[in-house]
Amino acid sequence: MAKIRVSYEYSEAEDKSIRLGLFLIACGILSLFILGFCWLSPTLQNLQSKPANCTCHQSLHTINTLP
């Protein structure tokens, strides 16, 4: 009995589109980790009684204190 092999071949445009999509997803996940770390770091440092040194937190604090 012959085995049936199904092979999917993508065109060059489809391949580039898939690669671009995966790259954008990876960049999005990485940026979420960076922003999450930036927002959580000052809170964790306050719990440890260390000075917060995060530019994201400082810029948000500056925005919140504007008149």
pLDDT tens string, the chain, 67 residues long: the values are 556 665 678 899 999 999 999 999 999 999 999 988 888 887 777 777 655 555 555 555 555 555 5
Q: What angle do CA 30, 48, 58 make, to 5 degrees?
A: 55
Q: Which residues contact 52 (CB under 8 A, 6 or more apart)?
A: 41, 42, 45, 46, 58
Domain ranges in the chain?
42-67
Number of separate helices (H) and strands (E) present in the chain: 2, 0
pLDDT computed for residue 43 by the predictor: 75
Residue type, 10: Y
pLDDT computed for residue 21 by the predictor: 96
DSSP letter (8 states) at residue 4: P
CA 31 – CA 36 distance, rounded (Å): 8
